[in-house]
Every structure is written in structure tokens, then in C-alpha cells.
A and B are shown apart, each in its own frame.
Chain A
Amino acid sequence: MKTLKLLILLCINAVVNFLPQELKACGFTLYKEEWRFWTFDPNIGADPGLRRMFYSIDFFHEGFQNSYFYDPFEDDKFHETDEYQTNVKQWLKHCKELDPNNSLTEKDITTLLYETLPQDYFKLREGLIKENKFMAFLFQHASLLAYIDFAKKCEYFSNYPKETWACDDCPRIISPSHIEKGSRYNYTWYESIPNDTNQTPQLIELGKQMLAKTQDLFLKERIAFQMVRLSYYQGLFESTNAYYQQYLANLPNNNWLKNNALMYTVLKLEGAEKNIGLARIFGVCPDKRYRCVQLFDKSFFEATLKLTKNIHEEALVRIIFAINQPMEQLQNLQKITQLEPNNPLLPMLWVREINKLEDWVMGSYYSEFGSTRFDYWDEFRLQAIQNQRKKDLVYAAQVTKVLEQTYQNSRPAYKDMYALCLGFVKFMQKDLNGAQQAYALVQTEKLNQIAKVQFALCKAMLTLSNAEKITPKMEEEVAAVLHLLQTNQTLYPQRREMLYSLVNFMAKEFIQRGENAKGLMLYGFSAKPYASHPLLGLGNVYTQIYTHVSPQDIDHMLHIIGKTNKTALEKFLCGKVFQYTYDYDSESKQIWDINKLRDIQSMLWVQEDKLFEAYKVLQQIDTSYWSNDVYQDFKVDNPFCLNPWNAHLPMNFTKVQYNKASFLKELIRLKTSLPQLKGEEKARVLMSVANAYYSMTYNGKYWIMQKNYQGGGEPWEDSSDVDPTYYSGARARYYYKQILQTSKDPKLIGGTVYILQVAFENSNSQSAANKMVLKNNMEAKDIYEQMSMNCDLFYEFIKTYNYFGPPKKINARTS
């Protein structure tokens, strides 16, 4: 037992030691696909039906089976259910042939075939006659009804395997009174268990009889398909093959029943055999392409190539493999081009390479999270990203070279698309002239809607990168592209993601060209993570502004917001902004919070100790602003009172309430009164001022005077000496030290030294310096030592010497 405990402790120790050292917040994990940089629309290389094979992190990066994020239900949203529609149309046609006067609709058929669970179907069958014309029609045609009944039963056995009698945690009754225990930890993995073998033989028998009896070819094919499926799910693989061969194999290649049945005959195979079967289905059955890619086993790639019978099959195997690969596929692309230069899937594969490259090359620059090649929490990633970026640029150069040849040899229909790819890959390499030349090859008048938007986007990015300064004309171009991406997002959902990536790109480009205000405001229009936040994990637009802005920039922002004649870009910038990144819900966007911007500006002034400036800004903020949750705290506490043991502890003896403005007003008043004061009175005001500054440090309860947020990574008072340059720590210390030079009161001196010791100066040298003050003041030393040992004494000190209200003799100035 002891050994076990030791082992457990060692394991925990190992886990703790090897945890990422820069975890910013508990439980927060950023999903790579969310920050992936992409502005190149994959739809320009393929029709939307192929979208599940576009480059993305979740589906193919880690492989389907291992991907944590893989969600088959999500996939269904993109599934182009052509075969369902085909089947419905075929049923409609068949019913018309049987009764030309029927008034059936596709909706009736779809409801019954695809929207009624088999369990419900049998409960509602008669009731549906009134509601559903197809059901009524079936009741008039016994053979059709018999088939649908049969098909629904088959559907149940194929689709609801969990409702079977298989049970691993059940005990087994071997013989009367003789029981064998079940296993608690051996849960049934439902997908892996066969259906109830006690009941399905009856169904198979029924299918056989129907197959033998029916003369209707339409029904015969469908019964055969059900038999293929049923046999497959029962593990009767020979029957699966036999039914397929006998009834379906001779149907045309584009017959969905044939192809679906073929899939079942392939699924039972393994390794390269299975792969080649999948590749063949991939070639003839668009609806099954995605599933084929999913099931393709990459480890048998070479072996599969050996089984190909012709050039087309080899191309198919290579295409599936390429789609399944997250990394560079240039060589494979070249090979496919060589085999089938006009393969219609080639453009999609090329765009995949472009999407990879922009993620790797540009993603590592335009967000703090870098390229998705790396985990953002990896502490060594910065160097690794730089090293990898060099390699990626070499790869980009190789891609450029091959793309140039591809452009030359491509069919006219693809030339514009390849020219765009070529321009963009050159742009990524900062070959701006080369990009310009490639874009010049594009015949814009021939472009479709999607390509037109892409072209405008590529041009705007290029224009911006070419510029040293942002001109009004450029702003117009930028605004036009942003507007283009914003419109019709329902029709083209990819534009939303592209817009966010583009915003992150433009924000950085604007800032680099001295347009801080506009650049930072742009971040408000991106929900794609661009900055990390020590507490929240992700920065939002206001934290981004707080981190990078100057007080003058905020004036500029407020000017833009308040302008009456706005330019197109300014109009865009003054729209509703995301309050949080990683939030794709446009409904939660809000207009700019001017009070928040002013609040941030006041923080910046306070950081520079320009209290008058800060106060002036705060005076412009609406009173209602202070009623939010964060600022509620100010109303119950007094920043001029301090307990350095726990600076957040409420110490509101005076029952005075403050908000940011009234606090500053009082601090200014105290500070301006100081030159007119002397002796003990001055010392006590100094104490209040010092306390106030201390409250504004990251340790204090009024840290929000100069920080937009308080992160977990702040240095804490008990860990080391306070960095005197860090916010107002040094200012607080300055005023405490002033007390030592001003006061003769031993209690105040002893207490102040104690505060300095506890709050600021933990090192031996500092400690020794402070104690020098006490060397010739035995009473103060005595008080200091007593305080060190007795908390109650210090508590009494705080009550006596902390903020006591404005000095009576002095007429305090307001501001």
C-alpha cells in the first residue's frame, strides 16, 4: 500500500512538473480552428458540396479518429443530402407511374421516409393516413406499404443498435440458480455490438420472400439494398456481397442505391483492400466522398497504390491521401497533376495548400497565438515559430514555382483562380511586385461573386502592405472590402471568418503605420482571438486598447466617434463592436462605450501621476457608469485607509463613499494642501496620501484606478520587494518615507516603518535601512517591535492614524 501511495505521489509530482508553465487561466483552452488565420476563400477552388474536405484544423489535422473536436453531428450540417433528394424524387416518379392522378408532394415523402422514426412510424401509421398523402397512397398500394414497413424495420435494426439486448454488466444465468457475475467496468460500446440475433432472422427471411415475390424493379432494387445493409449489420458479409452482386452491381455507376450498397461491401474489408474500395467509391459517388476520406487508412497508402488498376485510380488514392494530410502535399499534388492534369478536384487541393500556408506564415504574425502548427501554451513556441516560419517560407517558394507552371498549363476556366493563388502566395512571401503582377493576370470581368470578393480582398491587403502611410484612398479601399465581407454573410458564411482574419491583419498594419486609434478600433470587429489576456485567456477590444493605447489615441478615437461627417472607414469603425473575442454571436455586439474609453484614458493619466488630467476625463463620465459590478466596490470602502497585511480588506471607518472621480478629487485636495502644512499635521496627511497611492497599486483595493484588469501574473507583496517602477508603488513609498522625515511621533514612526517593512521592503538591505531610522528613537523602535509581535497593536494604530478627514485649518482646493 505504501508503495502504491508513493507511486501515486510521484505521478502527481510528475504531472505538476510537466504542466505547461504559462497556463493563464484555469480550465481555458483555445481551440485551434478558432484562431487559425485564413483570408483565402476555399470556395473559389471547389463547389460547396466539398466543403468538408477544405483545409481545417479539426477534421484532418489530427486525423478523424483521434480528433477531440470531431463531431459527426456538426458534419451533418454540411452534408449535401443529394441521395435523399434523389430517392424522394424517384419515389415521386414511381408513384406517378402507378397513379398519374395522385397529388403527392416531395414533402409528404420526405416526412415519412426521413423524418419519422421507425418506432414512431408503427405507432402512428394509421393516424398518418389523414395527415400524409404518401401514407394514404401506400395504404392503397399493398406492395409499396409492405416495402416501407420492411424498410422501417430494417432502419430500426441498422440505426438503433443501442436498443438491443447486448449487456456486459448483466450477470449470466448459466443454468437454474447458477449465475455468473457481470462486469461493472466493461461497458458495452454500442457501435461494436451486433443486433439482436434472436429477432433479425425473421426479418431476413421476410426480405428474402419479398425479393422473390416482387416483380416491381423499383422495389426489387430497394429490397436488395435493405438486404445488403441488414446482412452487413448482422455480420453476414457473404450475403452482403451476394445481394449486391446479384441485384445492384449492374446498375449504372451514378445510381445512389448501388453506391451505397457498394459501400457496405467495402466496409467489411481491411487495410489496402478497403482503401482501394473506398477510393473507387470516392470516384463515383459524391455523397460518399467524405465518408471515404474519413475511413481511408493513411498507413496503407503505399500498399493501396500497388492495388490501383489505372491512372485514374492512382489519382483517386493520392487525392484522398492529400485531403487526409494536414501538412505539405506539394509533391503529391504534382503527381496528381501529372496523372490527371484536368482532375476537377485539383483546384480544391491547391487552395488547401494556400490555406495551410497563410495559417503557417501569416498566422504566426497577425495574432499572439501564432501558427496552429504549435500549441499556444507551449513555452518554447516563440523560437519554434520563428524557425518553422523560415521553413514555411521555403515551402511557399516551392509552391510558387509549381503554381507558375500549373497556371501556364491550366485550362482557361481555372486560370483566374490559379492567378489569385499565385498572387497570394507571393504576397505571403512579401514579394509584393510579384503579387501585383499575378493579380494583373486575373480577368476580373469573368470572375464569379466569390472570386470577385476574394480579388478585392487580396488587392486591399496588397495595397496596405505596399503603403508607408495610410492615405484616405486606401482607407476607402479597406472600407469597401470590409463592407463586402460584411454583406451577405448568411449566403456566404465563410466571409465571417475571413472578415475576422482580415480585421486582425489590417489592425496590425494600421498600427504599424502610425494609425493607432483606427487600428485599435478595428479589433472591435474581430471575434477571432488576437491577443491573450492574463486573466480571461483572451483579450477583448477594450483590453487591447488599454494595453496599446496612449491618452492622445483615445482623444482621436473619441473624435472619430463624435464626428458628423464620417468617411466610409470611420462609419465602419463606429459600428457595433464585439465585447469579447471568441464570441461569434453578432447579436451581442454593442456600440462603443465612450465612458469605458474615457475610463481607460484616466487610467493612463493616473499611471503617469497626472491626476488633474485624469480627474478632468473622469468628470465627463456619466454617473450611471459607476453603478456596474466592478465599481460597486468603491462605494463601500475608503482608499485612504490601509491595512498592508490585506490591502483589500474593507477599512471604511469613516463611512465615506467614493467613486473614481471623488477619490481623485480628494487625493488632489490632500496633495495640494501638503505645502501649507507642517509637523504632525503634515505627517498625518502624508500618511493618507501614501495610503491612497498604495491603494492604487496592484496590491491595493483601488487598483482599478490605473489598471483595466488585474491578472493572475501580478507580483504579490509577499513574494519579493516591490518593483518601485511598477505603477504607483514607488510613489506610495515616497510618501511613507516623507512621514519619517516629518513626524516626531514615535507611534507614527514605528507604525510607518512597520508598513514599509510589510508592504514594500522585505529584503535584508531595505530592512536594515529602515531600522536605522529607529536606531536613535527607542520609543519608536519599541512600538515597531511590539507591533511586529502583536497584531492588535497595529490594528489600533490603523484606527488612530488612518484617514481622519480633511485638516480643519486649511481651505482645501478642489481641482
Chain B
Amino acid sequence: MNNFTQKILAILAFCMLLLGLILLSKQKPTPFHRAVYHWKSTFARSSYDLDENKFFEAHSIRKIYLKMLDVDYSEAGLIIPVSKTRIDYYISPENDSLVYVPVVYISNRVIQFMPTQDIDYYAKLFLEHTLRIETYTNRGVNEVQIDCDWTEGTKDKYFLLLQRMRYWMPNLKYSVTLRLYPFKYRTKLGVPPVNRVMLMMYNLENAKKMELNNSLFDPNVAAKYVTKTPYPLPTDFAIPAFSWSLLFRHGQFLRVFSDNILDELENEKSRYVGVNEAYVKYRKLGYNKFLIEETPSFYNDYDLRAGDILKIESCGADELKQASALIIRFHPRKDATIAIFDFDLKELNKISYEDLEAAYTPLH
């Protein structure tokens, strides 16, 4: 090869490299479906919710995963519906372009203590409560989602419950939420008998441990669950943008409030300060923990007691971005949905439009 040929080849190689770079720069992000989770105790939808409708429009959101029921186990009442979402639906179905996927949250203790002979009864009962949304929208739902942190010990009963649900309503599609742990250890924890899974990129650690600073999301911890092979079921992705308040009494976890309740306590304080000093008094213990020092006798919506400790955990724009960036490493398919958890305009408005758009469009 003479010098001339070498030069030609070098120029060609350079041109190809340049072309490659140009093509790479023009590659569009994968157009995933966009959704949000609604995890509040009341779901209100009307044509007059201009802000909400604008938000859905601006981010091309077409799907809402709507929590309909929260089931827990208590020695007091056994298997109990601790929260049924109230529906205030005032929009004509033809004007409602959203698709609803009703979700039922079932605590693992429910599965643990559910008598095997009652599984069929509860499968039907949970489904009825979940399909309650149809009563309001006058439209049949296509998909139902079950949210449960099952373990190896409860796997069989849980999967049986899912099968019995399919028995009662075979035409529906079923999805379940999937933590990162069962995503990675799929052999041990099994693959649920459903159509899809929703991989939750958060809730990484045990929130009930008071000493943890933030159990919600850590990109380094999340990255440990990346696998070489995709999950055997079509996978959607939930990314976090929410706050919650964890209440501990006598050092034990008691309950969780799906919001930062300090805002509300501050509101109450501004209303009552100087009047009767009738508001919850608290002080910061460090980072995100707060000690309840005094509670009034008549306003105490959260049933707080002196000595209780509140831990506030939040995921904002940074966590949302980091979680979104990780999605690509979990083998997403083209038809995957990315859902932000959860839909709270007050919180989401703190995140810029661009950041939210970026979260919905992770790059390869």
C-alpha cells in the first residue's frame, strides 16, 4: 500500500468516524409510554382541573396507575382494607383520554396470614374493589396491577392468589410491581404468573429501620441489581418523585403517611400560634428526623404522641433523573411504560419541565 492509498484510507476512515458520530448525535431517545401513579386517598378528576389536565397534556401522559385499595393485616381485624380510595370523577368518559390501571396494594403480611382456603375468596374480593373505578368511568379496564413485596416464604400463596384473580376475570391483563431484589433473584423469588411487571427503581431498603437516613433511593445500590439478561416478562419502570413521613413510636415503626406531613403541621402552627398554642410541637433531631414534643388535645389528625419520631424521606429532581438514567441498564423493551411515582402536582411542580421530560426519555 503506497502512501497515497494510505492517505485515502485514512481520510475514508476519518469520514466514516465523523459520519458515525453525526448519526449517533441524531439518535432519538426511545419513545416509551408515559404514565403516573396516583397514590392518594382521594382521586379527583374533572374537566375543571386545568392544572392537572395541562400537566398530562404537556408531558403526553396517557395512563394513570391508580391505587384503589390498600390491604393490610392486623391482629386486631385480621385482613383489613385500611384505605379505600375515594373517587370524585366528574368528567364525561368521552372527554377523558386517560387509561386507568387500578392497583391494589397488599402487604406481605396479608399473604403470610391468609388462610389457604380463603385465597379464592380474597382474590375475588380484591378484584371487586379494584374494578370499582369502572363504576365511575363507565369503561372497562384492560389491566389490573397488584402491588406486593412478596418473599420466598409467601411466593406460592401470592402466585396462587394471582392465578385465582385470573380465574375470576380471565379477560383482563395482570401486572405486578417488582422490587429490584426479586428482579435480580428471579429464580429464588419466582416469576409471577402475570402479563407484565412494573420494576420499581426505588424503595431499596427497609423503610421501617429508623436508623436509615433515606430508604427510598440510592443509585449505587440500585445499580447492584442490574442483570445480564432481561426479565422474562415485559417490564415497565416506575421512577420516584415523592415524599413520605414514617412514624416511629417506642422505637418501632407504626405507620407511614404518603406525604411530608411537616408542611401540614406548619400550616396548623401558623393558624394556632398565639391563640392557644394548640398545635403539634416538634424539634429536629438531625438530618430528616423530628421528635414530637407536644400534641394538642383537639387537633391531632395524624394521631401523633409526644415522644414519637417522624422521619421524612423525599425524592426530588435529582433522584428522578438518576433513576431514569438507570432504566437503560435494565433492558427496556420498546413498548415499556415509564411511570412517575407519584402524581402530586405540588411536588412535581418543583421539578422543571425539562427534567420531567428527560426523566421520561432516558437515552441509550
Contacts and interface: CB of A to CB of B under 8 A. Distances in A.
Interface of A: 117-124, 127-128, 130-131, 149, 152-153, 155-157, 160, 163-165, 167, 169-173, 176-177, 179, 181-184, 196, 198-199, 202, 585, 587
B132 interface: yes
Q: Which 7 A-B pairs have the closest CB atoms?
A: A122-B75, A118-B76, A156-B76, A182-B135, A127-B250, A127-B252, A170-B128
Contact of B78 (A130, A152, A199): A199
B128 A172 contact: yes
B168 interface: yes
Given A131-B250, A173-B169, A176-B167, A119 B76 contact: yes
Given A171-B135, A198-B121, A149 B75 contact: yes
Interface in B46-80: 74-80
Contacts of A179: 131, 169
Interface residues of B, number: 37
21 contacts: A118-B76, A119-B76, A124-B249, A124-B250, A124-B254, A127-B249, A127-B251, A131-B250, A156-B76, A167-B129, A169-B87, A170-B131, A171-B134, A176-B170, A177-B170, A181-B135, A183-B135, A198-B121, A199-B77, A585-B275, A587-B274
B124 A169 contact: no
Contacts of A585: 275
A119 B77 contact: yes
Interface in B238-282: 249-254, 274-275
B76 A167 contact: no
A171 B254 CA distance: 33
A584 to B, nearest CB: 11
A163 B254 contact: no
B143 to A, nearest CB: 16
B84 interface: yes
A408 B144 CA distance: 80
A153 B77 contact: yes
B76 A153 contact: yes
A677 to B, nearest CB: 57
Given A177-B169, A177-B170, A163 B80 contact: yes
Instruction: Indicate the member of B82, B129, B171, B253 with the most A CB atoms within 10 Å.
Output: B129
B125 to A, nearest CB: 6
Given A122-B75, A164-B81, 9 more contacts: A118-B76, A122-B76, A123-B252, A124-B249, A127-B252, A163-B77, A170-B129, A170-B132, A199-B79
A165 B104 CA distance: 14
A172 B127 CA distance: 9
Contacts of B127: 173
Contacts of A164: 80-81
Contacts of A119: 74, 76-77
Contacts of B169: 173, 176-177, 179
B303 interface: yes
B136 interface: yes
Interface string B296-310: 000000010000000
A173 B125 CA distance: 9
B170 A181 contact: no
Contacts, number: 102
Contact of A163 (B82, B121, B131, B171): B82
A194 to B, nearest CB: 14
Contacts of A127: 249-252
A174 B167 CA distance: 12
Given A176-B170, A184-B135, A585-B275, A167 B254 contact: no
Given A120-B254, A123-B252, A167-B84, A156 B128 contact: no
Given A124-B250, A130-B250, A156 B168 contact: no
Interface string B69-104: 000001111111110100100000000000000000
Contact of A157 (B75, B77, B131, B251): B77
Given A121-B76, A153-B75, A184 B136 contact: yes
A228 to B, nearest CB: 19
Contacts of B118: 198
Nearest to A77: B298
B92 to A, nearest CB: 14
A182 B81 contact: no
B169 to A, nearest CB: 7
Nearest to B252: A127
A160 B76 CA distance: 10
A163 B135 contact: no
Interface in B123-176: 124-125, 127-129, 131-132, 134-136, 167-171
Contacts of A182: 132, 134-135
A199 B78 CA distance: 7
B254 A123 contact: yes
Contacts of B171: 177
A162 B154 CA distance: 28
A153 B118 CA distance: 20
Contacts of B249: 120, 124, 127
A183 B136 CA distance: 9
B134 A173 contact: no
A171 B250 contact: no
A152 B76 contact: yes
A575 to B, nearest CB: 20
